[in-house]
Chain A
């Protein structure tokens, strides 16, 4: 029952609810009908009794009653379901008048009566319901008589039972109809969901192009379909990126592997002096290092992508970390007669090692691309909601059509260059992953032939004091020599 279909369940529930309601209504109608019929019966009895009283008090004495020469029979005779009995006051008194009664019921003579109108009900020998009204009435002659006017309620009973019968007969049909109707309505209402399962069944990692048609859907489902489509879009992009990535990775690994295999095979093809073998091994180790670096970077990217990497976050002073990284690059900069400067400071929440790493990747790029004798300023700036650290350098710049792709894995604007200089093509991808982990972003601005500026934007740590201290005078790494 737990797993039965939604439409069956809804159909069942609606018919149960309908059954309850219809039963309630039918019962209510029965009770009201019963009550109203009884009220009408009593009312008519009361009216008749008044007329009888009137006739009795106006004209008659005990003897005259029996003669039937009076209007009483007319009062009763016209209606075949009335019975009138008039009896003397004492319990054993004889019956003075009995109209309409075919069978004398004992109760019809043996009844008590008082000055006020009293009603009594009983069933006669054949089980028919009777309603009687009794009263003690005074004749003109001053004698008292007991009067009982009875109404046979067989007709009312018949009406009620006919009602009951028809209701009980129709009710199951009605309920069936309600249930089927509900089931059909729910089926119809849920029909668009079929589209969902239809599309979901077709989606695989090879084919993520299927989308739900949103136009014909009801509003509630349209939203769901919309998010479903957006999810598919994201999955599609992710899967494509992933397959592109493994393509690129295989390609990147192929180059060093080809070198290694080729060189080793050539070397082994004939006997050589030991120095030659040594030279080959030494050259091999450089290729191995390249392979190892790619593997390390890949591992790092996989780790950074995992949210648990956020566990080691502490408060990090950007200027302090920048200074340490600048120290590391001071000599490389000096070789190219570059000056590294640092200004500003701010604190962020982050992983020290990762921030160092991101910065080191940016700085090594800047040094690589800067012309001799230039200047590479590092700036830490605190804005309203963000803290940014920028590294800029003069140089050839990056073409506008490369800019959107520079953070992609293995993307190289200049494919021949970086590889010979030892890069893995993952440096900026690592920068971006690190910034994503820090819930910030990395961006780049570049003018060909002008300045290239890379920026790490961190969210401002909540509760941090607004750092309005004017930029500290530019510190130079070279002056620390």
Chain B
């Protein structure tokens, strides 16, 4: 999958390229709107990540051109978080809109969601990671043959982690998906929930599945 990053700030472009490349995407960078448009016309990118504040032609102008040329997916990055700006971006045909400063895992998750939109892979009915099994319809979870008794929230949390297995989920993302609170709250609910879930899922097993990435978030995966 090919992604074009149009960003004039070198450091931002660098880490976006590094992060996205390490997540398995092919990434090109452009430092100005004109270069970006030029590249976008030459190659077919699945996604264009576009900064609003660019020299010469700004992000809005590039977005307008891109929309005139074709139907590439566009994610706007901006330091302006006003509602009016968001609405303007979405109205002009951006597929997503992310306000700086943002957390990289969130950007990654959104990129995945945007690229998944076209593929539409149906989720398997029963989620499996190593010997951990989760059946959302019957609301049951097993580790090997042992049934795990979970509260509603613990179940939802495990579901979120397993659905995105291998992806790092940040605290904010987890609060948003499990507790449906879409703002930064001052609570240790995620830490407490994870430690309880870990006690139920991992404590009795050799292979640990729930991992903390300090400073970033949590990931559920089988590591060698």
Determine whether the beta carbon of A481 is less than 8 Å from that of B151: yes
Known: A361-B186, A364-B187, A481-B151. A335 touches B215 (CB 8 A): no
Whether B81 and A324, one on each chain, are in contact in the complex, defined by CB atoms closer than 8 angstroms, is no
Contacts of B121 in A (CB 8 A): none
Contact, CB under 8 Å: A308 / B83: yes
Stretch at the interface among B17-25, B90-98, B137-145, B173-181: B173-181
Can you sample 7 A-B contacts with CB below 8 Å?
A330-B189, A331-B189, A335-B188, A353-B182, A356-B181, A360-B181, A360-B183
Q: What is the total of A-B residue contacts with beta carbons within 8 Å?
A: 69
| CB pair A282 B187 closer than 8 Å | no
Across-interface contacts of A332 in B (CB, < 8 A): 187-189, 192
Contact of A286 among B186, B187, B193, B215 (CB under 8 A): B215
Is A329 a contact of B151 with CB atoms below 8 Å?
no
Interface size class of A (residues with CB under 8 A): 35 or more
Whether the Cβ atoms of B181 and A328 lie closer than 8 Å is: yes
- Nearest chain B CB to A274's CB is how many angstroms away? 15
Q: A329-B187, A364-B186, A427-B186 are in contact. Are A282 and B215 (CB under 8 A)?
A: yes
Kindly state whether residue B207 has any CB partner on chain A within 8 Å. Answer: no
Is B115 on the interface with A (CB-CB < 8 A)? Answer: no
- B11, CB-defined interface residue at 8 Å: no
Q: Which one of A303, A306, A360 lies within 8 Å of B187 (CB-CB)?
A: A360
Could you tell me which B residues sit within 8 Å of A by CB distance? 81-84, 99, 101, 151, 153, 175, 179-189, 192-193, 196, 214-216
> What per-residue 1/0 map shows which CB atoms of A287-307 lie under 8 Å from chain B?
001001101100110010010
Chain B hits for A448, CB < 8 A? none
Contact for A295 among B101, B186, B188, B193, CB less than 8 A: B101
Which of B82, B101, B214 lies in contact with A282, CB distance below 8 A?
Answer: B214
Complex Cα distance, B182 from A285, in Å, reads 21
Which of chain A's residues 8-28 have a Cβ closer than 8 Å to chain B?
A: none
CA distance in complex: A325, B101 (Å):
26
Give the chain A neighbours of B196 by CB distance below 8 A: 331
| Secondary structure call for the B interface | loop
User: Which one of B81, B84, B192, B216 lies within 8 Å of A335 (CB-CB)?
Assistant: B192
Q: Is the CB of A360 within 8 A of B192?
A: no
Known: A286-B215, A303-B82. A353 touches B183 (CB 8 A): yes
Tell whether, in the assembled complex, residue A281 and residue B215 are in contact, meaning their CB atoms are under 8 Å apart: yes
A303-B83, A308-B83, A327-B179 given; A293·B184 CB < 8 A: yes
- Chain A residues with CB under 8 Å of B192's CB are 331-332, 334-335
Chain A residues close to B by CB (< 8 Å): 281-282, 284-286, 289, 292-293, 295-296, 299-300, 303, 306, 308-309, 324-325, 327-332, 334-335, 353, 356-357, 360-361, 364, 422-423, 427, 481
- Knowing A282-B214, A329-B189 are in contact, say whether A356-B81 is a contact too (CB < 8 A): no
In chain A, what residue has the closest Cβ to B99? Answer: A299
Contact pick for A328, options B81, B179, B216, CB 8 Å: B179
Verify B186–A422 contact, CB threshold 8 A: yes
**A356 CA / B193 CA spacing, docked (Å):** 20
User: How many angstroms between the C-alpha atoms of A332 and B183 in the bound complex?
Assistant: 17
Residue of A299, A300, A324 with most chain B CB atoms under a 10 A cut-off: A299
Residue among A285, A299, A360 making CB contact with B186, cutoff 8 Å = A360
CB of B213 to closest CB in A, whole Å: 9
A308, A332, A334, A353: residue with the most chain B Cβ atoms closer than 10 Å: A332
Determine whether the beta carbon of B151 is less than 8 Å from that of A357: no
Verify A285–B83 contact, CB threshold 8 A: no
Q: Are the C-beta atoms of B101 and A328 separated by less than 8 Å?
A: no
B99: A residues at CB distance < 8 A: 299
Closest B residue by C-beta to A299: B81
How far does the Cβ of B136 sit from chain A's closest Cβ, in whole Å?
Answer: 20
What A residues does B187 contact at CB under 8 A?
A: 328-329, 332, 360, 364
Known: A361-B186, A364-B187. A308 touches B181 (CB 8 A): no
Alpha-carbon separation in the docked complex, A325 to B183 (Å): 12
**Cβ–Cβ < 8 Å partners of A282 in chain B:** 214-215
A334 → chain B closest CB, angstroms: 8
Contact B186 A423 (CB under 8 A): yes
B7 to chain A, nearest CB (A): 19
A324 touches B215 (CB 8 A): no
Which residues of B sit under 8 angstroms from A329, Cβ to Cβ? 187, 189
* Best-surrounded residue of B179, B186, B187, B189 (most CB of chain A within 10 A): B186
A308, B85: Cα distance in complex, Å: 13
Q: Indicate if the CB atoms of B188 and A360 lie closer than 8 Å.
A: no
